[in-house]
Amino acid sequence: MAQLAKNQELEVTITDLTYEGLGVAKVDGFPLFIDNALPGEKVLIHITKLDKKYGFAFTKQILVQSPDRVEAKDRTLTQTGIAPLQHLSYAAQLKFKRQQVTELYKKQHLDIEVLPTLPSPQTSGYRNKAQVPVRTVQGQLATGFYKRRSHTLLPITDFYIQDPEIDRAILVVRDLLRQYNVPAYDEQRNAGVVRHIMVRRGYFTHMMMVVIVTRTRQLPHAKEIVAGINAQLPEVASIMQNVNAKRTNVILGDHSKTLWGQDYIEDQLLGSTFRISAQSFYQVNPQQTENLYGKAIDAAGLTGKETVIDAYSGIGTISLTMARHAKHVYGVEIVPSAVADARVNAELNGIDNVTFKLGKAEDVMQQWGEQKLASDVLMVDPPRKGLAPEFITAVGSMLPKKVVYVSCNPATLARDIKALAEFGYVAKQTQPVDMFPQTLHVESVTALELQQD
């Protein structure tokens, strides 16, 4: 190891960017990961931590600046991980995301063309959902976000990537909680009342849902808070209380009750209307979601004669869109409220060639395989952990002609493509889609065809 020490300052040249958005410099072959540094820059750094194989540092001064650097909106947005790429130009962000997928494919020895990343129509203010912690900061109830790798809440009023109307709604609720002296949650003592505020807003409908997540069954001054929300936020159609009494990092508990209005909002996507409950999964960048799903449907190559399985079907956004182009769609989803929403959404849109089943995707897939359900196209949009091994085994027994993989994690995508190759599935290209500008995340669409001898 190079002769380096904690708190040492030295000049380095940045050669790369990690998937976490940290600059990389090597001192005599020893890698340092550096906050607020971009490839090509020469910077003066301050070393904060050294391990046996690598170290961490922050940028004290930029000596030679990258042409890709742009002015950051607010340092807090980097410190909390809300917008870790805000200092990188948008064109460079798109290249970085494409590179992420390319590098992970190389590691798995996969020869798949990675197309240029599809840019988002909006690069700020695009999120239609917020979940913000509520804590006491300097003796006052505050809303914001945690500093990375800590439980220290940094108060934030402008989240930059969220719909500005959602930011405004959070402040309205925060001020009402302050006005009625409702205690914020105390993580250490598992005391206090309000843990999180969640707000959803329909991009096309402008319907808004406010969810106040509490540790306790009772929300003090609920009547007055509801009246205050209604007086200041005319778009609100649903005010919910969700109770989460557990000592956990999971945001929502199992029990929700309606404080005012209905227990859902609606929004439109690709010509269909969707009912969205508090716990439903719904993509957070609505304009780009239309592009993402459009690419997925194009990749499926539907003619109207196909039987399609949509694993991880959620509230039916992909299922119902595909049902307009297929013979029949079977959706499977593990969240009961999402399945209930999906069935209502099918009725709302007059779509009857779709069947939704509640259960784990891997279990239901195995059942369908045993029942000899023949499918032409399998659509998968799994969580970040990717496909379970049992799911991949079920795909191997059912052998649909095509698998369309919508991924939010290129690492598990590459792993799963490698596993599906064992059953004869081959991918020629991947289309990265930027669903989350200013962040490190990248979605993608990949079509895998079954190559039979």
- Which tens digits make up the pLDDT trace of 115-159? 999 999 999 999 999 999 999 999 999 999 999 889 899 999 999
What is the per-residue DSSP string for 203-271? TTT--EEEEEEESSS--TTHHHHHHHHHHH-TTEEEEEEEE--SSSS-S--SEEEEEEE-SEEEEEETT
Q: How many CB atoms lie within 10 A of CB 143?
A: 26
Separation of CA 431 from chain center: 18
> Which bin fits 45, alpha (ψ -120 to 50), beta or left (φ > 0)?
beta
265 and 299 co-located in one domain: no
- Out of 259, 408, 414, 435, which one is annotated catalytic? 408
What sign does the dihedral 70-75-77-80 (CA atoms) show?
positive
Percent of the chain with pLDDT over 90: 93
The enclosing domain of 47 has a CATH number of 2.40.50.140
Same domain for 440 and 303, yes or no, is yes
- 106 and 146 housed in the same domain: no
- Computed from CA positions of residues 228, 233, 237, 239, in that sequence, does the dihedral angle turn out positive or negative? negative
Residue 47 and residue 163 share a domain: no
Output the domain CATH number for residue 162. 2.40.50.1070
Asked, for residue 35, whether it belongs to a domain, the answer is yes
Two tokens, residue 218: 């009772």
Which residue, 234, 269, 304, sits at the end of a domain?
Answer: 269
Residue 307: per-residue pLDDT: 96
pLDDT of amino acid 400: 95
Contact 221, 228 (CB under 8 A): no
| Any domain includes 139 | yes
Q: In what order do the strands lie in the sheet with 140-146?
A: 153-155, 140-146, 129-137, 194-201, 208-214, 236-243, 255-261
Q: Which of 341, 435, 344, 337 is CA-nearest to residue 381?
A: 435
Task: Write down the pLDDT at residue 2.
Answer: 62
The pLDDT of residue 435: 98
pLDDT at 173: 98
What is the model's pLDDT at position 453? Answer: 63
How many residues comprise the chain?
453
| Helix pair angle (410-421, 389-398), 10° resolution | 40
Asked if residue 243 belongs to a domain, the reply is: yes
- Domain of 403: which CATH number? 3.40.50.150
Residue 311 and residue 224 share a domain = no
In this structure, is residue 279 part of a structural domain? no
The stretches in the chain having pLDDT less than 70 are 1-2, 453
> Which tokens belong to 182?
């409702």
* Pairwise CA distance, residues 347 & 353, whole Å: 11
- The answer to whether residues 400 and 305 belong to one domain is yes
Position 158 scores a pLDDT of 97
Instruction: Count structural domains, the chain.
Output: 3
Given a contact cutoff of 8 angstroms between Cβ atoms, the answer to whether 314 and 282 are in contact is yes
Domain match, 202 and 249 both: yes
Question: Catalytic annotation on 28?
Answer: no
Q: Which of 218, 234, 269 is the last residue before a domain boundary?
A: 269
Q: Are residues 111 and 157 in the same domain?
A: no
Task: Answer whether residue 302 is part of any domain.
Answer: yes
CB 119 within 8 A of CB 444: no
Amino acid found at 45 = I
Co-location of 133 and 115 in the same domain: no
Residue 116 lies in domain: 102-121+285-450
Q: Are residues 156 and 208 in the same domain?
A: yes
Residue 275 lies in a domain: no
Task: Indicate the residue among 221, 243, 269 that finishes a domain.
Answer: 269
Residue whose entry in the numeric block shows the structure tokens 């239609």: 128
Beta strands in 244-358 (DSSP E): 255-261, 264-269, 272-277, 307-311, 328-333, 354-358
CB-CB contact of 209 with 240 (8 Å): yes
Same domain assignment for residues 253 and 389: no
Asked whether residue 182 falls in the same domain as residue 255, the answer is yes
Does a structural domain hold residue 84? no
Q: Is 385 exposed, middle or buried (0-12, 13-18, 19+ CB in 10 A)?
A: exposed
Q: Is residue 274 part of a domain?
A: no
In the three-class reduction of DSSP (H, G, I as helix; E, B as strand; rest coil), residue 33 is classed as strand
